[in-house]
Amino acid sequence: MLEQLLIFTRGGLILWTCKEIGNALKGSPIDTLIRSCLLEERSGAVSFNYDAPGAAYTLKWTFHNDLGLVFVAVYQRILHLLYVDDLLSMVKQSFSEVYDPKRMAYDDFDETFRQLRMEAEARAEELRKIKQLGKPVTGSVKKQGQVLKAGLEGGNKRVGEGGSKKDDGDGIKGKVSNLTNGHHSNENHKLGDDSQEGDLANGKENTSSNVAVDLSKLQKLRSKGVRGRGGVRKADSIGNKSSKVAAAEPAKKATKKNRVWDDAAPKQSKLDFTDSVDENGNNDHVEVVAADQGESMMDKEEVFSSDSESDDDDDDEPGSDEKPAEAKKKGWFSSVFQSITGKANLEKTDLGPALKALKERLMTKNVAEEIAEKLCESVEASLEGKKLSSFTRISSTVQAAMEDALVRILTPRRSIDILRDVHASKEQRKPYVVVFVGVNGVGKSTNLAKVAYWLQQHKVSVMMAACDTFRSGAVEQLRTHARRLQIPIFEKGYEKDPAVVAKEAIQEATRNGSDVVLVDTAGRMQDNEPLMRALSKLINLNQPDLVLFVGEALVGNDAVDQLSKFNQKLSDLSTSGNPRLIDGILLTKFDTIDDKVGAALSMVYISGSPVMFVGCGQSYTDLKKLNVKAIVKTLLK
């Protein structure tokens, strides 16, 4: 049963709801659809599932892009209603005929909807009956085919039995007949077993003269190692091949010795250049950096000029360079004429070439293929049926729509101001806890030190927690950063429970009055069940204020897998009803990718979390904010 159907504008004004249905929806499925799907450029999806306490809904929708209307149908997921798509299409067509932008109430549409609903249900019921009637028909046809096949096989067997007792039932490629006028011959019987060609296949009678001729030919072919009509005998061919390979195998060569370039060169006596430490683990040679490396790039406004990069607005549709000159002239004239007169409504066939080129361009910028395809589907859904204005080309319209979509995705849905939240936690006399998570080798410890340096510049007291008790050297690495920055560090060594270490670190920070605790965790692959369970325990036990996922800007399709599985594991392994997921993203190695900036888009799209920091160098100051306009410009150039 249909739970609800409503029509509203893209601005959020509800024009009509079905009063006949009038079911009270549990939860807020419409609001969730708008926030999680329509505003996040996921409108190209087929449906949206919403789970509420005591109910599970499926939502389907369609757009009238020219009028700016949205039609949404809600029904129980367990029902699998077949007429919803057809009903939405009919409602869209009927309502667009009576729609008036100045009109706010459409009470007279109730009767129209009732008739449309009855018609859609009748069509669905008719299709269901046709499918039910079609099943036995197909079964009877299949049985008739089996009977016919069995009859043909039986006929073949009879023909074979009339010719020879050893026939396998194949009348076309049977064995050579052993009968000569109804009498057996031992010699012919042996030859007949080795041959697969028969006189019946050639349509000839088995006479004594024919058999004699065939036997002489078969003996010659057999002596040459040929079977049937030019087919090489398997045993002989395998034997010949193996003998040739054995004869052709050369003797094994002696391994080449390593060349010594200079025997008189002095050997390096010391390869370990790490600074020596005393028996207490203290190192007096570590350089103290404190806050003298200059201003962090986080506090610098990045200037982006839109004129610095040339726009390719003069490019025509994809594949135009491959056309001859006359076709180019003709296409240019027709496109100019069409841009002047305008087009009635955009269709999928019109948008297809431009969207295909845009998808390929996004994929060359390191955007995951799945994300690029969903984005193009969303843009197609937002433009289909929209009227193209005069002096406007389809390619520029599609690119403008994609640019708006990318800006909406990369712009954070909620503001995360760490400095503001730190001061709010300080007023409550508790430390602000940040946990850094991610896969192996992405630079969690290094960028944790960059964040600590940035916080230090804003007069915030920081303490590091060495909770990577798995990787050898992780504690020493963090200890080195702490000494260079003159930041206290809490450590318990290796092979300890990281969740307990983090809890003790937070307690120590509370006693010492530290404002922020930066928790370093072990790198783990998204499929490593024990380490993911340990990470979930750490987050559930300590309830950090911010969970940062540290990811490389070099990854492409793997970014989708990493973030989705991290969130899925944190959700599945959580012991609370409201699990803590990833709150933000720290993108590392951003200075090594040139214009391949698609990983930022893939990560934000799949998780819905903003990119809060971007690592772009080796020093502590090389940490900056994400410039959304620059990213979008790079993706579309």
CA distances from 460 to 415, 431, 455, 456 (A): 20, 11, 5, 5
Please tell me the chain's helix, strand, coil percentages from 3-state DSSP, rounded to the nearest 5. 45, 15, 40
Please say if the pLDDT value at position 574 is more than 90. no
Predicted local confidence at residue 32, as pLDDT: 86
In this prediction, residue 232 has a pLDDT band, given cuts at 50, 70 and 90, of very low
Q: Which amino acid is at 26?
A: K
In this prediction, residue 436 has a pLDDT band, given cuts at 50, 70 and 90, of very high
Please say if the pLDDT value at position 162 is more than 50. no
Mean of pLDDT over the chain:
75
Predicted local confidence at residue 260, as pLDDT: 61
H or E element, residue 523: none
The model's pLDDT over 39-86, given as tens digits with 9 standing for 90+, comes to 777 777 778 888 877 788 899 989 888 888 999 999 888 888 888 989
The model's pLDDT over 196-206, given as tens digits with 9 standing for 90+, comes to 444 434 444 44
**In 3-state terms, what secondary structure has residue 548?**
strand
In this prediction, residue 501 has a pLDDT band, given cuts at 50, 70 and 90, of very high
Q: Which of 25-29, 290-294, 344-348 has the lowest mean pLDDT?
A: 290-294
Its pTM surpasses 0.75: no
Q: Which of 26-40, 226-240, 388-402, 457-471 has the lowest mean pLDDT?
A: 226-240
Please say if the pLDDT value at position 385 is more than 70. yes
Query: Starting at the edge strand that comes first in sequence, how are the strands of the sheet with 516-520 ordered?
Result: 489-490, 462-466, 516-520, 432-437, 546-552, 584-588, 611-615, 623-624
Percent of the chain whose predicted confidence (pLDDT) is above 90: 30
Helices 394-410, 628-636: inter-axial angle, 10-degree rounding: 150
Please say if the pLDDT value at position 588 is more than 60. yes
What is d(CA 287, CA 64) in angstroms, rounded to the nearest whole number? 64
The model's pLDDT over 285-331, given as tens digits with 9 standing for 90+, comes to 555 554 466 777 777 766 544 444 444 444 444 443 443 334 344 45
Predicted local confidence at residue 355, as pLDDT: 92
Cβ(544)–Cβ(436) below 8 Å: no
Predicted local confidence at residue 198, as pLDDT: 41
In this prediction, residue 167 has a pLDDT band, given cuts at 50, 70 and 90, of very low
Q: Which amino acid is at 547?
A: V
Q: What does the pLDDT average to over 181-196?
A: 42
Q: Which of 18-27, 294-303, 450-459, 583-592 has the lowest mean pLDDT?
A: 294-303
